[in-house]
Amino acid sequence: MTASGEGGRSRKLTWLVFLVFFLISILTNIMGPLIPEIIRGFRVSLAAAGLLPFVFFLAYGLVSIPAGIVMERTSVKTVVIGALVLEVAGALLLPLRPTYATALASFLVVGTGAAALQVVINPLLRIAGGEEHYAFNSALAQFTFGTGSFLGPLLYSYLVLRVGQESGGSFWLDPLRALTPAGLPWIAIFWVMAPAGLVVLAVTAAVRLPRRIHGEEGAGAWANYRRLLGLPLVWLYFATMFLYVGLEQGLANWISQFLFTYHRFDPRTTGALAVSWFWGSLTLGCLAGGALLKLFDSRAVLIGTTLGATAAFTAAIAGPASVSLVAFPVSGLFLSVMWPIMISLGLNSLDHSHGVFAGILCTAIVGGAAFPPVIGHLGDLLGLRAGMLVLYLSLGWVLSVGFWAKPLIRNATLRGREEADA
């Protein structure tokens, strides 16, 4: 398999994919620490705050398949550059006009760019690193994603504490303080993310990308999507990704508010740090998960990590303050390899149309739109702890995947290599 204009596998393309994952991660997962700020700053309910991740992930349902078709009719680089422009524009909307309505528009635009990027970078990663190493490389991409998600809340906490001060700071904090509305110091994070997006845009513009992704990896036309949507297997993996992303975002977006509601931890310090360590644990878990995927079948790893995640989540919502504070980040440790394992199981379960399938799986990321507002609405009615119980549905489904998945290509392990050499 080769990419047009490239010789197939390319380390440069792999690193570019990792860089894009890093940017997407910060913009996506900064919402968790911001939800308590938005509730307090804009005086909205839990359900209204839950609409922010809803509009972000709704974009995946609306944009992913059309983005694949646009990529096929134009070029890979056109879609990537256009998506990065949307990321920068979305990051600028909220600081330019800080209102709740603008926040919704901002996250919708950012989500649109992120959805288009995901459609491109998943097939690119598969051809750049090789399909037999896709589970491993996808775990490394998740590591990069987790690193950005870990650093984002720390940057938020730093900025909200420093920019909120009346004076003092540095050559870059003083301009941020002048640009940020009084009483809303968290807006400063967007003044940082917009220039960061411009840097990634400049790097991408300087890198040679394949004009098309042909053959098995190509996004294809609408007829190809219709053909794949007629396969029950495709719907099984669509449901899998839908429920997994709902689980991840349902956790990440409500950790800080949960710790404040039930244990009175400050969202700007302890709450933000807990979210940061949720993603930090997810990052460290990717390293451990990558090692496990070199030793064991990915389905066995998925079953073990899902059981661990279930235990950690139960301790987080039912345990005392000290246990909850630790158990939420630990749950990220177990979630870390679920996404790369499941998407690799899905793509490696078909011997054709991987770009089309990737577009469908990216559409399933709309699950991140469903769970946070459902949890928020139930939280308003029954309490946040009761609302978060819906996440057991996702955990149960993910566990089942380890039993029914039957990939055509299994992940490469050291044991398998030794047997092949023998």
- Give residue-wise pLDDT tens across range 88-114: 999 999 999 999 999 999 999 999 998
In whole angstroms, how far apart are CA 186 and each of 1, 36, 175, 259, 381? 46, 11, 14, 19, 28
- Distance between CA 389 and CA 247 in Å, rounded? 11
pLDDT computed for residue 323 by the predictor: 96
pLDDT computed for residue 167 by the predictor: 63
pLDDT computed for residue 385 by the predictor: 96
The pLDDT of 8-16, averaged and rounded, is 72
Q: Grade residue 128 by pLDDT with cuts at 50, 70 and 90.
A: low
pLDDT computed for residue 12 by the predictor: 75
- Distance between CA 332 and CA 311 in Å, rounded? 12
pLDDT computed for residue 103 by the predictor: 92
Calculate helix-pair angle for 46-73, 367-382, nearest 10 degrees: 170
The pLDDT of 267-293, averaged and rounded, is 84
Q: Grade residue 257 by pLDDT with cuts at 50, 70 and 90.
A: very high
- The residues near 262 (Cβ < 8 Å, ≥ 6 apart) are 321, 324, 384, 385
pLDDT digits 0-9 by tens, 294-312: 888 888 899 999 999 999 9
Which of 88-92, 132-136, 159-163, 222-226 bottoms out in mean pLDDT, i.e. has the lowest?
132-136
The count of residues in the chain is 422
pLDDT digits 0-9 by tens, 40-62: 889 889 888 888 888 988 888 88
**Token duo for residue 5:** 């204009």
Choice between 2 and 151, residue whose per-residue pLDDT is larger:
151
Least Cα distance to 333 among 387, 388, 287 occurs for 287
Q: Grade residue 4 by pLDDT with cuts at 50, 70 and 90.
A: very low
Question: Mean pLDDT over all residues of the chain?
Answer: 83
- Distance between CA 53 and CA 110 in Å, rounded? 11
Helices and strands per DSSP (H, E), number in the chain: 20, 0
- The residues near 394 (Cβ < 8 Å, ≥ 6 apart) are 243, 244, 246, 247, 250, 371
pLDDT computed for residue 414 by the predictor: 67
DSSP character for 99? S
DSSP character for 271? I
**pTM score:** 0.74
The pLDDT of 323-333, averaged and rounded, is 94
Q: In the chain, what percentage of residues exceed pLDDT 70?
A: 86
What is the Cβ-side half-sphere exposure of residue 247, based on CA atoms within 13 angstroms? 27
Highest mean pLDDT among 203-217, 375-389, 408-422 belongs to 375-389
The answer to whether the beta carbons of residues 82 and 197 sit under 8 Å apart is: no
pLDDT digits 0-9 by tens, 141-190: 877 877 888 888 888 888 888 886 666 657 778 888 888 888 888 898 99
Q: Grade residue 1 by pLDDT with cuts at 50, 70 and 90.
A: very low
- Distance between CA 59 and CA 82 in Å, rounded? 15
DSSP character for 411? P
Choice between 420 and 187, residue whose per-residue pLDDT is larger:
187
pLDDT computed for residue 212 by the predictor: 66
Does residue 18 surpass a pLDDT of 90?
Answer: no
DSSP string, 189-209: HHHHHHHHHHHHHHHHHHS--
Q: In the chain, what percentage of residues exceed pLDDT 90?
A: 32
pLDDT computed for residue 241 by the predictor: 93
Q: Grade residue 120 by pLDDT with cuts at 50, 70 and 90.
A: confident
In whole angstroms, how far apart are CA 213 and each of 69, 206, 238, 310? 12, 19, 22, 39
- Distance between CA 170 and CA 295 in Å, rounded? 48
Give the count of beta carbons closer than 10 Å to the beta carbon of residue 110: 29
**Token duo for residue 400:** 């089942």
pLDDT computed for residue 327 by the predictor: 96
Q: Grade residue 17 by pLDDT with cuts at 50, 70 and 90.
A: confident
The answer to whether the beta carbons of residues 280 and 333 sit under 8 Å apart is: no
The pLDDT of 79-84, averaged and rounded, is 91
